[in-house]
């Protein structure tokens, strides 16, 4: 009888031990599943964070590019405004001649009276130039420039642009004192003649109603009106 009780007790003890052994693996599997779920959720959160970072970076890049484009547009706009202001200043200083002017008529080149530091005419050229006649009118104009051949050209429907030059501006532009031209004034009226394409074809200064100062090739020539 004692043996039977002992056998039953051992059997129960084995059953209890076996039951406890099977519960532990289940607990481990549950923990493993929980870890897997946790890792998956963490990965998803990391991926979402990276996606958000990438989106934010793209937005910043677009904003940066937009700011650069706006800055470039502002610079171009400022440059355009500066160029327009310069052109407007030039237009304000020079007026187009439309009425009958004292310089209309025929003129003869008398002599060379002043020279810039650099000239394009030789002494022989000057001898050929002196005595030539030029004429200016509303319908056409003679030409004069850095080459003696310009004297043979005529401009149809010339554009006369008048501006006032101070003695300081004259000295700065041509490195010749205005007094060298026997002009006893602090200012002188400049006439620039352009063709239909706004290309300069002749430049002279008004000394008085009967005397002009012609410029070309770095030399100033005195003109007398033909009566």
| Rounded CA separation 150/173 (Å) | 23
Point out which residues pair with 166 in neighbouring strands.
187
Does the pLDDT of residue 161 top 50, yes or no? Answer: yes
**pLDDT recorded at residue 93:** 58
pLDDT in tens, 102-113: 899 999 999 999
**pLDDT recorded at residue 47:** 45
Assign 3-class secondary structure to the chain.
CHHHHHHHHHHHHHHHHHHHHHHHHHHHHHHHHHHHHHHHHHHHHHHHHHHHHHHHHHHHHHHHHHHHHHHHHHHHHHHHHHHHHHHHHHHHHCEECCCCCCCCEEEEEEEEEEECCCCCCCHHHHHHHCCCEEEECCCEEECCCCCHHHHHCEEECCEEEEEEEEHHHHHHHHCCCHHHHCCCCCEEEEEEEECCCCCEEEEEEEEECCEEEEEECCEEEEEEECC
Point out which residues pair with 188 in neighbouring strands.
165
**pLDDT recorded at residue 120:** 95
For the question of whether the overall pTM of this predicted structure is more than 0.85, the answer is: no
Q: How confident is the model at residue 94 (pLDDT cuts 50, 70, 90)?
A: low
Extents of the domains making up the chain:
2-93, 96-225
Assess contact for 171 and 177: CB atoms under 8 A. Answer: yes
**pLDDT recorded at residue 227:** 81
Percentage with pLDDT > 90 across the chain:
52
pLDDT in tens, 164-182: 999 999 999 999 999 999 8
Q: How confident is the model at residue 211 (pLDDT cuts 50, 70, 90)?
A: very high
Nearest Cα residue to 202 out of 212, 219, 214? 214
| Rounded CA separation 137/156 (Å) | 10
pLDDT in tens, 181-210: 989 899 999 999 999 888 999 999 999 999
Assign 3-class secondary structure to 6-24.
HHHHHHHHHHHHHHHHHHH
């Amino acid at each position: 009888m004692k043996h039977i009780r002992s056998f039953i007790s051992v059997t129960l003890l084995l059953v209890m031990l076996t039951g406890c052994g099977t519960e532990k693996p289940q607990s481990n599997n549950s923990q493993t599943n929980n870890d897997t779920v946790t890792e998956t959720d963490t990965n998803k959160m990391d991926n979402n964070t990276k996606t958000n970072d990438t989106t934010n970076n793209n937005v910043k890049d677009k904003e940066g590019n937009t700011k650069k484009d706006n800055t470039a547009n502002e610079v171009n706009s400022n440059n355009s405004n500066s160029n327009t202001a310069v052109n407007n200043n030039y237009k304000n200083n020079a007026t187009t001649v439309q009425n009958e002017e004292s310089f209309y008529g025929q003129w003869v080149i008398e002599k060379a009276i002043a020279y810039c530091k650099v000239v394009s005419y030789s002494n022989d050229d000057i001898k050929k130039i002196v005595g030539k006649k030029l004429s200016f009118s509303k319908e056409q104009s003679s030409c004069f420039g850095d080459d003696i051949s310009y004297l043979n050209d005529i401009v149809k429907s010339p554009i006369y642009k008048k501006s006032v030059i101070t003695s300081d501006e004259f000295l700065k532009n041509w490195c010749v004192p205005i007094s060298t031209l026997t002009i006893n004034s602090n200012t002188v009226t400049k006439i620039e003649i352009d063709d239909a394409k706004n290309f300069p074809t002749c430049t002279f200064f008004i000394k008085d109603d009967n005397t002009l100062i012609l410029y070309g090739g770095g030399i100033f020539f005195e003109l007398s009106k033909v009566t």
